[in-house]
Amino acid sequence: MSTPIIEFKNVKKRFGDTTIFSDFNFTVEENEIVSIIGPSGSGKSTLLRILMTLEGIDGGYINVAGESLWHMHWQGQYVPANSKHLHKMRNHLGMVFQHFNLFPHMSVKRNITEAPMRVKGVSREDAEKSAEKLLNLVGLADKANSYPNDLSGGQKQRVGIARALAMKPSILLLDEITSALDPELVDEVLDVIRNLVKEDSFTMLLVTHEMYFAREISDRVCFFDKGAIVEEGKPEEIFISPKHDRTKAFLNAYLGQ
């Protein structure tokens, strides 16, 4: 078996007096699509935010692509990562946010080209060509010169996906990407992800409340509660024959079975 692309080992995370993870272990294989479901406050989003280096950890280790995310070797010792190390590690990761977080002062096109040009040194020509392709992929080729505030929520989120993909991350983190959308706009965003995984292989970690989507797209589903994985398995196992009472109760509430 190959080394996992993401590995959490005995990870601890606290917010003040609240413990999110007391001893968390978790792995994701390369090109695996993993959905994380569970009640709010169970640490689902925190997991993604730690991976994206938006939150630090209070103990344990995390490996991404075979290298420690939050630590580095320095003079023969294992020390907390500096900004240079984090900068290097972030190249592996991309994230799409619940509230889009598009840059409102930039056109749609610049939202997508800015990071490849400034961070990776891609030429303007190449960046714009690739932005064009990405906008085609998400069905917004005609919106290149619009500003985020002129777009609907679904369109914003599709730009958010294009923007994350422009950096060519090997791991894509999707943090409740349809939770802030009107119900009728959810599908246009999920369709983009469906097409994406059809055309290319991705390592993808998604936190979602769209149970049918999770079931359809995932290789594995993890049910989270109180900072731990209560139950995980193939989508059919989790959705059709969950073993734990807590999983059953959660799915019942969600799917109304």
Partner 1 sequence: MEFGEIVSVLLQGAVVTIKIVAMALPLAAVMAFIFGLIRLYSPAPFKQIAIFYIEFFRGTSALIQLYWIYFVLPFFGITIDAMTAAVVALGLNIGAYGTEVVRGAVQSVPKGQYEASIALNFTARQRVWRIILPQALVNMIPPFGNLAIELVKATSLVSLITIGDLTFKAKSLADTTLQVGEIFGVVLLLYFIMSQALALLFKLLEKRLSKGLGRGGIN
Provide, rounded to whole angstroms, the least separation between the CB of residue 89 and partner 1: 9
27 vs 91 by CB, closer to partner 1: 91
Q: Which is nearer to partner 1, 52 or 207 (CB)?
A: 52
Interface with partner 1 by CB under 8 A: which residues? 52-54, 83, 87, 90-91, 93-95, 97, 99-107, 114-115, 118-119, 147-150, 163-164, 167
Q: Is the dihedral of CA 81, 86, 89, 94 positive or negative?
A: positive
- CA–chain centroid gap for 76, Å, is 33
Question: Which of 54/255 has CB closer to partner 1?
Answer: 54
- Minimum distance from CB of 6 to partner 1 (Å)? 16
**CA dihedral defined by 24, 59, 4, 250, rounded to 10 degrees?**
20
CB of 253 to partner 1, least distance (A): 29
**Minimal distance, residue 54 CB to partner 1, in Å:** 5
Report in angstroms how near the CB of residue 23 gets to partner 1 at its nearest.
Answer: 27
Closest distance to partner 1 from the beta carbon of 195 (Å)? 22
Tell me the two tokens of residue 53.
């280096």
Please provide residue 35's backbone torsions phi and psi, each rounded to the nearest 5 degrees.
-100, 140
113 HSE (CA, 13 A, CB side): 20
Query: 38 or 94, CB closer to partner 1?
Result: 94
Where residue 158 falls (left for φ over 0; alpha for ψ -120 to 50; beta otherwise) is alpha
Phi–psi pair at 97, nearest 5 degrees:
-100, 155
C-beta of 192 vs 230, nearer to partner 1? 192
What's the chain's length in residues? 257
Residue 2 region, left (φ>0) first, then alpha (ψ -120 to 50), else beta?
beta
Q: For residues 117 and 196, which CB has a smaller minimum distance to partner 1 in the complex? A: 117
Residue whose CB is less far from partner 1, 22 or 179? 179
Min separation Cβ 50 and partner 1, Å: 12
* DSSP tag of 19: E
Q: How far apart are CA 127 and CA 108, in angstroms?
A: 13
Name the residue among 69, 66, 61, 79 with its Cα closest to residue 23: 61
